[in-house]
Amino acid sequence: MTGKIALILILVVGITGCRRQQASGPAGLSELGIAGIHEAYEKGTLTAEQLTQAYLERMAELDDQINAITFINTEAIAIARQLDDEYRMTGKLRPLHGIPMVVKDNINTRGMPTTAGSWALQDFIPDRDAPIIARLVDAGAIILAKTNMAEWAFSPMHTESSTHGTTRNPYNPDHVPAGSSGGTAAAITANFGVIGLGTDTGNSIRGPSAHCALVGFRTTLGLISRSGIVPLFLRNDVAGPMCRTVEDATRVMEVMAGMDPEDPITVHAQGKVPSDYKQFLVKDGLKGARIGVLRELSDDNVDPEVKALFEQAILDLESLGAEIVDPLDIPGFSSLRQNQWCATFRKDVESYLATYVQRDSLSTLEDIIRIGSGSRFSMDRLTDHASRSGRWGDPEEACGDAYQDPKRIAFRKAIEGAMDSLGIDAIVYPSWNHKPARIAFFEEEYLGDNSQVISPHTGQPAFTVPMGYTGGNLPAGIQFLGRLFDEPTLIRLAYAYEQGTRHRKPPSLE
């Protein structure tokens, strides 16, 4: 990095108002946020081209330690220059003007590979962006790179692909960043970009965000389009932001939210999308809030260090003005959570292949299996899905979306009913009850993944926010669960908790 760019970026860090901890490596890129970057653009102390170049240099210097990046966008600098020219001409910044982002490798990006980490798609290059990518690019975001993922999004435990191998946790490289969006999580926590995108079928935005001290938003099913995304189980899949702050995640979500005619489930968002989500970023937003503690999750085989962090988080919520309902009882919770998963991978992935890939030689799950995988874990999952269909544990019960499936509706009604009866604004529990597993022992040490239990089935929004660190410098997250389409309340509560505790700190990369 040139001395001039380094100096400019160090000045920008002072503008952002972030905690001024500096990660080692190329200077000045630690913890930059959207608002601070835009202020620097307006002051003329930074350009999008300078910022983009600095992030690319940081990736080149440091990514070999964590293996988060799968593809660098060779057009990123040219796009940044165009945005700089536009701002000089118009004097106006788009919502994400000149903001570098990284994108999980299962989201279609025009002219760039979208592989889902697999050999089968390793040379697939979409000819158009997924609708959410089009929205973000229209808002001024710059795609810097694609990020590694657990192949086909199969693993919540770790991030390993046939195309790019294993991603490591930047806080402790012997440990996993969870899966399947571990590449995005590792890249954003290592300050390889400002904002990141992941997908979440059961865990894959919130789990990696919690493991990497990030904010991860799993929004209401139907709020954000899933078109142009390689699916795992479309009935559960959500795309969303993975960022270093609640504010940045909110800004990204605001651009992504809304109806898409290519994704029928988004019809449920009609009339439920505020024009301005940023208004809910209220520092004292916990005052007068009622928060329920779901002990059925938080106390289930919990690591003592994670439990201590969570108990402190409850005290912090209370000190910040919340009224705590502890424990919150949800009638029938243990039985309603059963038999919620359905095996729809074959149907969903074959539909994606027919719509976007359009190759006679790659149209079925059997074609994918024939091409093979470099990951034993992924190959086992592929062969399992080839012989599996219907609902796990109850094959006679039909599988539907979150608005039609009786089991899903009953589960959600029980949770929202308990919230309504007690005037609860949100429910909290640890995103994971255990520390990030060691890479060498990820299957044995995969324990305490609470993200899988509720929101993927009920369709409710759930946000994770950093709540501190356990031994080994390993992050932990607290999760806020809300009612359908009540992202405004979750933003208010999560932001107030974040601002009142400020647990996020960058990792040290040599």
Domain ranges of the chain: 3-272, 290-339+404-501, 342-391
Asked if 361 is an active-site residue, the reply is: no
DSSP category for residue 183: H
Residue from 204, 298, 378, 455 carrying the catalytic annotation: 204
Residue from 104, 407, 435, 505 carrying the catalytic annotation: 104
Question: Would you say 226 and 257 are in contact if contact means Cβ atoms under 8 Å apart?
Answer: no
Q: For residue 134, what are its two tokens?
A: 């089009």
Per-residue model confidence (pLDDT) at position 119: 98
Asked if 307 is an active-site residue, the reply is: no
Per-residue model confidence (pLDDT) at position 28: 64
Residue from 30, 155, 161, 180 carrying the catalytic annotation: 180
Per-residue model confidence (pLDDT) at position 396: 86
The closest alpha carbon to 146, from 106, 119, 87, 97, belongs to 106
Q: Assign domain 290-339+404-501 to its CATH architecture.
A: Alpha-Beta Complex (3.90)
Asked if 104 is an active-site residue, the reply is: yes
Per-residue model confidence (pLDDT) at position 25: 36
Element (H, E) at 59: helix 48-62
Question: Would you say 443 and 376 are in contact if contact means Cβ atoms under 8 Å apart?
Answer: no
Domains 3-272 and 290-339+404-501 share a fold: yes
CA 35 to each of CA 21, 88, 95, 251, 495: distance values in angstroms, whole numbers, following the listed order: 18, 18, 10, 10, 15
Q: Assign domain 3-272 to its CATH architecture.
A: Alpha-Beta Complex (3.90)
Backbone angles phi, psi at 95, to 5 degrees: -55, -35
Nearest 5°: the CA angle 101, 107, 108 is 100
Say which residues have a Cβ less than 8 Å from residue 165's Cβ, sequence separation at least 6: 67, 148
Cα atoms in the Cβ-side hemisphere of radius 13 Å centred on 228: 23
Determine the residue type at 13. V
Element (H, E) at 426: strand 426-430
Calpha distance 314→325 (Å, rounded): 10
Nearest 5°: the CA angle 189, 192, 194 is 80
Question: Mean pLDDT per 10-residue run, the chain (510 residues)?
Answer: 44 39 48 97 97 97 98 98 98 98 98 98 98 98 98 98 98 98 98 98 98 98 98 98 98 98 98 97 98 98 98 98 98 98 97 98 98 97 94 90 97 98 98 98 97 98 98 98 98 99 94
**Residues across the chain:** 510
Q: How far is CA 263 from the centre of its chain?
A: 20
